Structure 1
Amino acid sequence: VSSEMPVSGDPAGIFELIEVVGNGTYGQVYKVCADHCSSCLFIFSKFKLGDEEDEIKLEINMLKTHSHHRNIATYYGAFVKKSPAGQDDQLWLVMEFCGAGSVTDLLKKTKGSCLKEDWIAYICREVLRGLLHLHSHHVIHRDIKGQNVLLTENAEIKLVDFGVSAQLDRTIGRRNTFIGTPYWMAPEVIACDENPDSTYDYRVSRLLYISE
């Protein structure tokens, strides 16, 4: 994986902050618009470049490589904002804005009702297409959950948050590590047993189960 980092710069002169929309693996996530185009909406993820710098570099390069796929949120670029001496520099990632929220948000809006079967099937198909693309490039996304499956306003399904992904050909001996969100983990992973690719079956099945 390349260690290339974004160019230095202050995004404040290019984008206008609209609101905080959530939190990613390493920092807060904002909805922003471009100064030259008020209808062009993006997501800013702001990180401190501290101890996690190597992991953040890995996520950036994964995004650069894979965000062209229809089921991966599009990556547009990044800025490193220099901080005063003694403080960590800030990294701002610019990503596609998925205006319909996450699958978790969608379920909350149903207020206890079930999603229709065709919607559940559609979400499952699109998530699996995204995972198949990642696997074909030797990447596993180790935190598949409702919050990391987003929908655009056109109902396109997008996977996000590669902060805990693993590069298969680099981490073949470390895939048994305890990484991810416990609620969404297969029992064998929580028990620190082998962490096979089949644990995807559990996480996607759980995503479908909570949708019913």
Structure 2
Amino acid sequence: MRPGPLPMTRPSHPGQHIPNPTHPRRRPDLTLPLPQRDLTSLAVPLPLPPPSAPASSVPGGLQLPMATSACAQTPELADLERVRRIGSGSGGTVWMVRHRPTGRIYALKVIYCNHEDAIRRQICREIEILRTADNPYVVRCHGCYDRAGEIEILLEYMDGGSLDGRRIASEPVLADIARQVLSGLAYLHRRRIVHRDIKPSNLLINAARQVKIADFGVGRILVQTMDPCNSSVGTIAYMSPERINTDLNEGVYNAYSGDIWSFGLSILEFYLGRFPFGEHLKRQGGDWASLMCAICYSNPPEAPSTASPEFRSFIACCLQTEPRRRLTATELLRHPFITRTQPPVADIAVSTV
């Protein structure tokens, strides 16, 4: 049974950005029109810092970094030794790196770009804002380097990799994963930070079975304007209907509820072991036009009848066509699917599909 209208907290939208008067122009005679930014709805999809996490071992006897204060000094780039490549894409490469003075291990995201200096500086400033966050369910960002046209971002290393391609059929285990991700989302949304690209590949796990929100697709922001809040950052397959088709919902896009749609789709994918709208539509080279039509005009995906009533209700509370009917992250944390069981003691048993 589909739920009726559900309450949803609408985030506020404060006024326009006011330039900082402590930074006078060097050339008062020069002007440059800049887009207005809503800094309280910062929508740069970057990994954010959690607090402390226990050290754990990784292959080769390397030591994972003990978490430090979110405002700790950024390690010198020259002190980072590249150990091996752990990921790559069109926007850049991710390396496992060792901090020589301490032996600690990090992930270093290297973004290749040739944008003008002003845009690179803006990106680094936004990363510095994000690294002040402090939550155990988001990946720590330790700092940013701007070197020779490259932007390099130092991140917490998650030795278990992403949850992309995993099937998680156990509802108690899935509830624990959902609880961790929702806790991270609730924290970000309270700080008026919108992720905009929640999907299985951006949910990482470590040896302690901690699940954290990240985004290894950060290179996408470099091809956008300096107003990422209004740009098409994100993966189409996990976008909400009103984000793809701006005619829906009377042209109003609530980015916070958009994150909830993407989250619900990801959780349902874990349970099914396949993309809810069709595996052939998800991957690159698929029929994107058909996928977008399915997202915008078909009924939202539902959990199968074999699932528990609590799980079916939980998914329905996320995958509502009307954004105002989706529960917020804080409300979802109180849903019976999350609260009915204690977090599983055993390791998360997941299978690759």
Same fold, TM exceeding 0.5?
A: yes
Tell me what 1:101 maps to.
161
Calculate the TM-score normalised by the size of structure 1: 0.74
Q: Does 1:31 align with 2:96?
A: yes
Q: Does 1:42 align with 2:106?
A: yes
Q: Alpha-carbon deviations, 1:43-90, whole Å to 9, x = none?
A: 001123533525622541243222x21111112233332x3xxxxx22
- Would the alpha carbon gap of residues 195 and 176 (structure 1) be closer, same or farther in structure 2, given more than 3 Å must change? farther
1:159 aligned residue (203, 208, 213): 213
Output the amino acid matched with 1:195: Y
Distance in 2 between the 1:131 and 1:23 partners? 26
- Would the alpha carbon gap of residues 94 and 27 (structure 1) be closer, same or farther in structure 2, given more than 3 Å must change? same
- Would the alpha carbon gap of residues 130 and 55 (structure 1) be closer, same or farther in structure 2, given more than 3 Å must change? farther
- Would the alpha carbon gap of residues 205 and 58 (structure 1) be closer, same or farther in structure 2, given more than 3 Å must change? farther
Distance in 2 between the 1:175 and 1:159 partners? 19
Between Structure 1 and Structure 2, the one with more strand by share is: 1
Tell me what 2:253 maps to.
195
SS of 1:131's equivalent? helix
Output the amino acid matched with 2:245: A
Conservation of the 8 A alpha-carbon contact between 1:22 and 1:28: yes
SS of 1:120's equivalent? helix
Question: Which residues in structure 2 correspond to 1:1-212 (within 5 Å)?
Answer: 11=77, 13-23=78-88, 26-38=91-103, 40-48=104-112, 50-51=114-115, 53=120, 56-66=123-133, 68-81=134-147, 83=148, 89-104=149-164, 107=166, 114-161=168-215, 163=218, 177-193=231-247, 194-196=252-254, 197-212=256-271
- Would the alpha carbon gap of residues 56 and 190 (structure 1) be closer, same or farther in structure 2, given more than 3 Å must change? same
SS of 1:101's equivalent? coil
Instruction: Give the CA deviation at 1:181.
Output: 0.2
| Larger-gyration structure (1/2) | 2
Q: Alpha-carbon deviations, 1:4-25, whole Å to 9, x = none?
A: xxx9x973x4122122212479
Conservation of the 8 A alpha-carbon contact between 1:104 and 1:146: yes
Q: Alpha-carbon deviations, 1:162-181, whole Å to 9, x = none?
A: 8479xxxxx7xx85643310
Output the amino acid matched with 1:47: I
- Would the alpha carbon gap of residues 136 and 127 (structure 1) be closer, same or farther in structure 2, given more than 3 Å must change? same
SS of 2:185's equivalent? helix
- Would the alpha carbon gap of residues 28 and 139 (structure 1) be closer, same or farther in structure 2, given more than 3 Å must change? same
Calculate the TM-score normalised by the size of structure 2: 0.47
Distance in 1 between the 2:240 and 2:202 partners? 17
- Would the alpha carbon gap of residues 78 and 133 (structure 1) be closer, same or farther in structure 2, given more than 3 Å must change? same
- Would the alpha carbon gap of residues 43 and 26 (structure 1) be closer, same or farther in structure 2, given more than 3 Å must change? same
Instruction: Give the CA deviation at 1:134.
Output: 0.9
Name stretches of at least 5 consecutive residues in structure 1 with no aligned partner. Answer: 84-88, 108-112, 166-170
Tell me what 2:61 maps to.
none
Distance in 2 between the 1:95 and 1:70 partners? 14
Q: State percent identity of aligned pairs.
A: 23
SS of 2:132's equivalent? helix
